[in-house]
Chain A
Amino acid sequence: MSNHLNKLTEKKYSEMTNRYSKKSGLIKDCFFAFVFGGLICIIAQLFHDIIISSTAQKIFGTLTEENAKALTVMFMVFVGVLLTAFNVYDEIGNIAGAGTIVPITGFANSITSPAMEYKSEGFILGVGAQMFQVAGPVIVYGTAASVIAGFIYYLIK
């Protein structure tokens, strides 16, 4: 194809690309993902433990364990959205990697960030249509996987 680069083949170039392309530091990335992911879980657990504590129950009335869990999830989604809106979440994500993508705060970030990005294209075709650009596949295949898992569970129960 290229007569000037007659000593180069696709195979040779692919090896060369691998040699020159620095890889992400696996241990470092795993470490930060573990620390930040864990930190998010600790915050959620703290929030949960506080709202279900006897002092909180005395002030706000009784709260079932199920409602406390739902409230914790809502709180973490809110935190994710808020940090995204203040342009902070992506900065943390830059270091934390999977540590901030996997928890529910990452899911909130993946929906908020396109909503912010596409606001300039209007609320219908911009925000409405593009909001699930990143999270869409997770929702689609997550739902499909849960149906399959539910079916298998029904069969073996």
Chain B
Amino acid sequence: MSTKQGKQTYTNDRKVYIKETAAIVGPREKEGPLGDYFDEVQNEDFDEKSWERAEAKFTGSVFQKLMRKIQLKTDDIDCILAGDLMNQCIASSIGLRDSGVPYLGLFGACSTIAEGMVTGSLLINSGGMDNVICMASSNFCAAEKTFRMPVEQGGQRPPTAQWTVSGAAGLWLSSQSGGPVITSVTIGKITDFNVTDANNMGAAMAPAAADTIIAHLSDLGLEPSYYDAIITGDLGLTGSGMLRELMDMHGYSLYDERNNCFRHQDCGAMIFDPIKQKTHSGGSGCGCIASVFASYFYKQLQGGNLKRILVVGTGALMSPVSVKQSESISGIAHAVAIEAQ
């Protein structure tokens, strides 16, 4: 069972292990600073005729890769929790339609993988499920087509814009021991401070990240220093600075005085080299935090470089229609506390 702590946080009485992960990314991600950590690289079109099919193939391939790694039969998987950025999450449903595993579709924009980990660990703690796979994917070209302009249209991006990561990742959550443990989860609230610029997602999501981190810390009576790293994804360079200031403003400093650096790291700010790759504010998309966590941070936990981390997936809850109708962009963030064993 999970036990509710404070208002939004649940601690897991039944241990939930992240036993295995898999991540496939595109060439731009491979060229980035974390390139060596990913399992596989595929072109953005993945030899398919449409961007949508390519993204679905990313999802399907990650699932197959994960299944090969974990050597379980599909019958042993109780449920897949997956989501993406396509309308009605078609990349996940098309990519996983041959999986033969019970499926729950998720939408949490870039927070999807965190939403999956939150839901997955609660499902495992219900006692009924033992093996859950969480997945998320995004594709640069498919996201451009859906949210911005056709890929070949020759426009410029403002410096606050982020680049959607082409990639997909999957995590195997299990009640059997092995790997890092999800100790608690915090479900975030929809947070809106009236940001309307679709080219400034970091600003739209930073308050949601701050709200959820503070909720998590106050529900459990912790200080940021309890965690070796507080990882968000994907606020980018713009949003990261804003989150740090928002946390300071409310009495929680994310600065690590002892090591002289920020305890906070952002997957969107880490995945690309903004100067060499000209990626402006950084990476974004469901595949960003999903692939960075599944590869880089998972290996840090396994290698013992990080003991306790808080993973905060942040999403901008908008659609092309809501943006055109001048709705403000709401943010969401879910937090997952993970400890290395």
Contact = CB atoms under 8 A, between A and B. Distances in A.
B40 interface: no
A14 B150 contact: no
Interface string A7-23: 11010011011001111
A80 to B, nearest CB: 9
Given A8-B207, A22-B238, A113 B153 contact: yes
Interface in B301-335: none
A18 to B, nearest CB: 9
B194 interface: yes
A17 B195 CA distance: 9
Given A16-B242, A23-B159, A7 B192 contact: no
Given A13-B207, A16-B242, A8 B193 contact: yes
B191 interface: yes
Given A5-B214, A24-B156, A101-B154, A10 B194 contact: yes
Contact of B191 (A1, A89, A100, A112): A1
A62 interface: no
A113 B151 contact: yes
B97 interface: no
A6 B215 CA distance: 12
Contacts of A4: 210-211, 214-215, 218, 250
A117 B192 contact: no
A133 interface: yes
B128 interface: no
Given A8-B246, A117-B150, A134-B149, A93 B214 contact: no
Nearest to B202: A20
A120 B195 contact: no
A20 B156 CA distance: 20
Contact of A5 (B145, B154, B211): B211
Interface string A94-133: 1011001100001001101110111011000000000001
A72 interface: no
Q: Which one of A16, A24, A100 has the greatest number of beta carbons of chain B within 10 Å? A: A16
Contact of A17 (B154, B156, B242, B249): B242
The range of chain B's interface size is 35 or more
Contacts of A133: 150
Contacts of B218: 4
Q: Is the interface of B mostly helix, strand, loop or mixed?
A: loop
Interface string B204-246: 0001001100110010000000000000000000100110011
The range of chain A's interface size is 35 or more
Contacts, number: 117
B115 interface: no
A2 interface: yes
A21 B238 contact: yes
A20 B207 contact: no
A113 B149 contact: yes
Interface string B159-183: 1100000000000000000000000
A33 B50 CA distance: 32
Contact of B249 (A8, A116, A134): A8
Q: Which one of B153, B156, B158, B210 has the greatest number of beta carbons of chain A within 10 Å? A: B153
B84 interface: no
Interface string B126-151: 00000000000000000001000111
Interface string B31-60: 000000000000000000111110000000
Given A2-B207, A4-B218, A17-B203, A116 B191 contact: no
B19 interface: no
A113 B191 CA distance: 36
Contacts of A110: 153
Given A16-B242, A120-B50, A7 B250 contact: yes
Q: Which one of B157, B193, B210, B249 has the greatest number of beta carbons of chain A within 10 Å? A: B193
Interface in A18-34: 20-24, 29
Nearest to B251: A7
10 contacts: A5-B207, A6-B250, A10-B194, A13-B207, A17-B203, A24-B156, A24-B158, A113-B150, A113-B152, A120-B52
Interface of B: 49-53, 145, 149-160, 189, 191-195, 200, 203, 207, 210-211, 214-215, 218, 238, 241-242, 245-246, 249-250, 278
Interface of A: 1-2, 4-8, 10, 13-14, 16-17, 20-24, 29, 84, 87, 89-94, 96-97, 100-101, 106, 109-110, 112-114, 116-118, 120-121, 133-134
